[in-house]
Structure 1
């Protein structure tokens, strides 16, 4: 009996820490999983195929972190999945998940042209097909799966205790830090986010605001944010900036992404306030501790 107690003590300690500080525990598991695989990929001792494979698997870190803490907390994993991806969602939100990244392209292009930066829009049939095909792939295995962690777990936990703004800034900071190996560890030739760390950080935090609004409007549907994540990552197929001017080491085109996203957030918040105020309410983690599906709704 004593041997069993000693052997299980470390597991209990880890579980208690994960349950006691779920967001910190989630982030620790997420970074450990992702950064370990990316560090191995960064050694450059594997062929390009294996390197890309390791990087793709590492992107599942946020989902792995969320699942680990959910299991340790005693919350039903099936119920969590049901509430995050299988719930009924207004189909218009899925349309919005596609159109919002397209709106971003148009607004960003407008900002670029006002700033005198040459930009080419490529919104043709071929570009649209490439955009949609890439969006589906990215939504499933190229970034969209991160949403189980960032929006499906961390955001509702934070909104349980804090305002939407504080929760958004926290998730944005975690999302940015998690991406750091992309700039400093991975070998050349591996598909990355591109740009500079500073520009990426500013854009990521601003983009997190948009994802927060959409996630809450969708009632906590990760399916909607997964699709939007895929569409944002694939939106580069619709336009291209030709100027490389920099401000404090950051490309001007990167900096202008921030006001482009924020302007869309403002318009979306105004629209929700005017036509659907209930969709502005925060989705909180307590919804997952309620009765199992079938016994009632939120």
Structure 2
């Protein structure tokens, strides 16, 4: 059964994307203008604030929904306790395993050997393991997933299947990242927008969108945060930059997401449990 999104859901998506892009790109434009490293003052402030665009967009949606007493979107996944949360540690292992697998396979095709030297240096620069974990959790997963998956995804799912919804958000997500290619010192800037590494970075956003979308449907935003964190942290620890390694990670992630999605039936019917006003 295919559902038709309400005018409120369509307007909600428009508001979310407008606020998200306006907030992020405005701050990242300031960072580009200031120049310098994104980890040094004063560039670090707009650089970090810009990453919270999806959360700000989510807050705008929730504020409007509460004010208008609109129902929660049908495909919103509430906080699930019990057996559903067992998916969180499983996905936290599977997601980074895709990065490790690609890195281990890379030497077979002429890519670099796996090395933790750069990762250890990064951890030392950040002040230790705990600051590294906190930064990897906040800058990306916590700043983005409540918006992309927790807010936009259920609204897109109202009219599209799981794969189509994830790929659509993946395309939007890839475009959202574009200013990072022009901020000196970012990984994307080092890749270069017009390069194989830059292209592969943008392409890997799509299987990531599928994987985080699957995680969200399984165990909510906590699971999508875990997937996002696991991949980002492993990419940083292994200092992935070779196009060969990136391409193999892309292939492994496509294989994993295909297997996971094939194992779970896609349904677009609206569960009545979600027709509850937010103000209750």
Deviation, structure 1 residue 122: 4.0
Deviation, structure 1 residue 84: 5.9
Of 99, 106, 120, which aligns to 1:112? 106
The CA distance in 2 between the partners of 1:254 and 1:293, in whole Å, is 45
The CA distance in 2 between the partners of 1:156 and 1:101, in whole Å, is 22
Report matched runs for 1:162-241 at 5 Å. 162-184=160-182, 186=183, 188-190=184-186, 195=191, 196-218=197-219, 221-240=220-239
Bigger RCO of structures 1 and 2 (CA < 8 A, at least 6 apart): 2
The CA distance in 2 between the partners of 1:100 and 1:139, in whole Å, is 17
Q: TM-score, normalised to structure 1's length? A: 0.71
Q: TM-score, normalised to structure 2's length? A: 0.75
- 1:290 aligned onto 2:276: yes
The CA distance in 1 between the partners of 2:225 and 2:269, in whole Å, is 17
Q: Contact (CA 8 Å) 1:168, 1:212: kept in 2 or not?
A: yes
Deviation, structure 1 residue 73: 3.4
Cα 1:293–1:104 change in 2 (3 A) is farther
Partner residue in 2 for 1:70: 62
Q: Tell me how large the CA RMSD over aligned residues is.
A: 3.6
Deviation, structure 1 residue 287: 5.6
Deviation, structure 1 residue 255: 2.4
Partner residue in 2 for 1:30: 20
Cα 1:172–1:181 change in 2 (3 A) is same
Cα 1:117–1:61 change in 2 (3 A) is same
Deviation, structure 1 residue 53: 1.9
Larger radius of gyration: 1
Note the alpha carbon deviations across 1:66-88, whole angstroms, 9 max, x for none.
221232234669x89xx767442
Cα 1:282–1:239 change in 2 (3 A) is farther
Partner residue in 1 for 2:144: 146
Report matched runs for 1:88-167 at 5 Å. 88=81, 90-122=84-116, 134-167=132-165
Cα 1:18–1:201 change in 2 (3 A) is farther
The CA distance in 1 between the partners of 2:85 and 2:271, in whole Å, is 24
Q: Contact (CA 8 Å) 1:94, 1:227: kept in 2 or not?
A: yes
What SS is found at the alignment partner of 1:265?
A: helix
What SS is found at the alignment partner of 1:206?
A: helix
* Structure 2 gap segments, 5+ residues each: 1-6, 192-196
Of 51, 68, 86, which aligns to 1:59? 51
Q: Contact (CA 8 Å) 1:159, 1:284: kept in 2 or not?
A: no
Note the alpha carbon deviations across 1:243-282, whole angstroms, 9 max, x for none.
x5xxxxxx23322221121111133335xx3xxx47x656
Q: How many residues align?
A: 256
Q: Contact (CA 8 Å) 1:157, 1:284: kept in 2 or not?
A: no
The CA distance in 1 between the partners of 2:218 and 2:114, in whole Å, is 33
What SS is found at the alignment partner of 2:81?
A: coil
* Structure 1 gap segments, 5+ residues each: 1-16, 245-250
